[in-house]
């Protein structure tokens, strides 16, 4: 930036490049933090899931496991998480479009499951483009947050973990469906409720306490609406963070079940006693997690917490 005699700012090409680079690294650091949080939550959840029930019907896990997950992620997997934070976010919207496209293009296959017209469960969002298909089939379909679950379970590097996670997710989608297809309703209502309660509580405080209603008070508030809006924004951030963690827990539980069931089915062996009874009973009865599966996964997430 250069300051001329009239005190006006002008951006040079180099300044624009530096600003863009700073924004890029800031976004990368932010996504790396999100990846670390996802890894820690997945590590704690998979430990809880694979722990068998004791004689009293409860799972006993170590306390403060989330801090241990954060420490393990920082000390052992920071490079993997940073690489995932660099590769996954650019394709996040493409995955969302591909999910919607898959729902529209699904056709029945010979085994009774529903696949899209391209022969795979997750096809590219733009099937007419050959380059899009090649990119999606080689790299794009692998870029999913479930890779961090595999990193938490098997301690694999990012790309082998992404490949394994993609295979397990395909099995999960074909067998149980996508939990996010109905979880977003609960998450949306949760965010709205937390944000609304925070806003109402802030408005109640500034309109009921004498410290804020007395005109002679140094903390007098003439209009409480801006404070109520600020309280709603804070509640929105808190609710969004909590619901994101709940989504990660629910996704990890179903993903771990699909991973374990695929392995035991390949060995023709029965499942162990670590599966939550509500989840196992529902999936055994229906064979697929439909809209009612939200209640089952929420019960599992509640038990985990």
Taking residues 275-295, what's their average pLDDT?
59
Taking residues 57-66, what's their average pLDDT?
83
Structure tokens at 166: 């993609």
Phi, psi of 209 (to 5 degrees): -80, 135
Is 254:179 a contact under the CB 8 Å cutoff?
A: yes
Q: Which band of pLDDT confidence, cut at 50, 70 and 90, is reported for residue 33?
A: very high
The confidence score (pLDDT) of residue 145 equals 85
CA-CA distance, 194 to 114, in Å (whole number)?
Answer: 37
Residues 203-220 have pLDDT tens digits of: 998 888 888 888 888 888
Read off the DSSP letter of residue 152: H
Q: Which residue has the higher pLDDT, 228 or 8?
A: 228
CA geometry: angle 297, 271, 69, nearest 5 deg: 55
Tokens 């001329």 belong to residue: 4
The confidence score (pLDDT) of residue 126 equals 53
Which residues, 6+ apart, have CB-to-CB distance to 7 below 8 Å?
A: none
CA-CA distance, 146 to 50, in Å (whole number)?
Answer: 17
Residues 106-146 have pLDDT tens digits of: 444 444 444 443 334 445 555 556 666 677 777 878 888 88
Which residues, 6+ apart, have CB-to-CB distance to 276 below 8 Å?
A: 49, 253, 296, 299, 300, 303
Per-residue buried b or exposed e for 101-110, using 16+ beta carbons within 10 Å of the residue's own CB: bbeeeeeeee
| Among 83, 160, 178, CA closest to 122 | 178
Can you tell me whether residue 107 is helix, strand or coil? strand
Q: Which residues sit opposite 2 in a β-bridge?
A: 10
């Amino acid at each position: 930036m250069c300051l001329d005699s009239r005190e006006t700012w002008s951006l040079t090409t180099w300044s624009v490049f530096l600003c863009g680079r700073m924004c890029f690294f800031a976004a990368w650091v932010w996504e790396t933090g999100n990846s670390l949080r996802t890894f820690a939550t997945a590590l704690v959840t998979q430990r809880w899931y694979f722990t068998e029930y004791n004689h009293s019907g409860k799972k006993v896990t170590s306390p403060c496991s989330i801090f241990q997950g954060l420490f393990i992620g920082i000390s052992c997997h920071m490079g993997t998480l940073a690489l995932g934070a660099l590769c996954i976010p650019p394709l996040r919207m493409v995955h969302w479009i591909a999910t919607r496209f898959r729902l529209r293009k699904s056709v029945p296959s010979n085994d009774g499951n529903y696949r899209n017209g391209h022969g795979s469960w997750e096809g590219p969002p733009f099937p007419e483009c050959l380059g899009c298909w090649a990119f999606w089939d080689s790299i794009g379909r692998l870029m999913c947050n479930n890779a961090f679950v595999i990193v938490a379970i098997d301690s694999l590097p990012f790309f082998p973990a992404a490949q394994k996670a993609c295979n397990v997710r395909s099995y999960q989608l074909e067998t149980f469906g996508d939990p996010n297809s109905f979880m977003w309703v609960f998450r949306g209502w949760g965010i709205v409720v937390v944000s609304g309660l925070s806003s109402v509580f802030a408005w109640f405080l500034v309109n009921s306490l004498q410290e804020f209603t007395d005109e002679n008070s140094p903390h007098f508030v003439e209009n409480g609406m801006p404070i109520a809006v600020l309280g709603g924004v804070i509640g929105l951030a808190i609710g969004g963070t909590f619901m994101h963690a709940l989504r990660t827990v629910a996704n990890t539980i179903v993903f771990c079940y699909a991973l374990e069931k695929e392995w035991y089915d390949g060995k023709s062996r029965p499942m162990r006693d670590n599966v939550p009874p509500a989840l196992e009973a529902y999936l055994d009865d229906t064979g697929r997690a439909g809209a009612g599966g939200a209640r089952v996964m929420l019960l599992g997430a509640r038990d985990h917490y």
